[in-house]
Amino acid sequence: MLRLILIGIVLVSLTACNSLFTPNTQLVQKAIAIQLKQTQQQLSQKLDLDFQGFEINRLSITERQPLMVQNLQTYHLQGSYDLIFQLPKKHLQQSQKPFDIYLQRQKQGKTWRLLLKDANSQDTNPVWRSYLIE
């Protein structure tokens, strides 16, 4: 009986430790915000719009696939979120906006980076751009 309890405690501990090393919703939200800021800047310049900011709500991760990129643990994450763009006189809202991102844990295990495939790279040997998630 004691042996079963100890095995149960070890399994719960291992599950808890594993969840510490996988991306959570807050980290995913920050990564999406990095992508949105880049897009927002490009749109602001091209369309002469005055974006005041945005809000990400109801983030849902539906797929979480571990893989290795450049010998570092990486997660391919997919899901959806609700987005509200704030303009000077109104708000634009998009519901159930899909996301498809790659997050990479750095060697020291203290930081994460958003990985974006370079648009000109090939799928067989992609070139990645990375952005520190703070």
Query: pLDDT (tens digit, 9 = 90+) per residue, 4-63?
Result: 555 555 544 444 344 457 899 999 999 999 998 887 777 777 777 777 788 999 999 999
Give the pair of three-digit tokens for residue 104: 């990479």
- CA–CA dist 98, 33 (Å, integer): 13
What is residue 90's predicted lDDT score, i.e. its pLDDT? 84
The predicted-structure confidence for 59-90, as pLDDT tens digits, reads as follows 999 999 999 998 999 999 999 999 998 878 88
0.85 surpassed by pTM: no
Beta-strand pair 91-105/128-133? unpaired
Give the pair of three-digit tokens for residue 101: 């991102």
**Torsion region of 33: left, alpha or beta (phi above 0 gives left; psi -120 to 50 gives alpha):** alpha
Rg of the chain in Å (alpha carbons) = 19
What's the full length of the chain, in residues? Answer: 134
In this prediction, residue 131 has a pLDDT band, given cuts at 50, 70 and 90, of very high
What is residue 15's predicted lDDT score, i.e. its pLDDT? 40
What is residue 13's predicted lDDT score, i.e. its pLDDT? 46
What is residue 74's predicted lDDT score, i.e. its pLDDT? 95
Residue 14: enclosing H or E segment and its boundaries? helix 2-20
What is residue 38's predicted lDDT score, i.e. its pLDDT? 82
- CA–CA dist 69, 67 (Å, integer): 7
Domain ranges in the chain are 24-133
- Check: CB of residue 103 under 8 Å from CB of residue 131: no
Residue for token pair 């990564």? 31
Residues 6 or more apart from 106 whose CB is under 8 A from it? 72, 112, 113
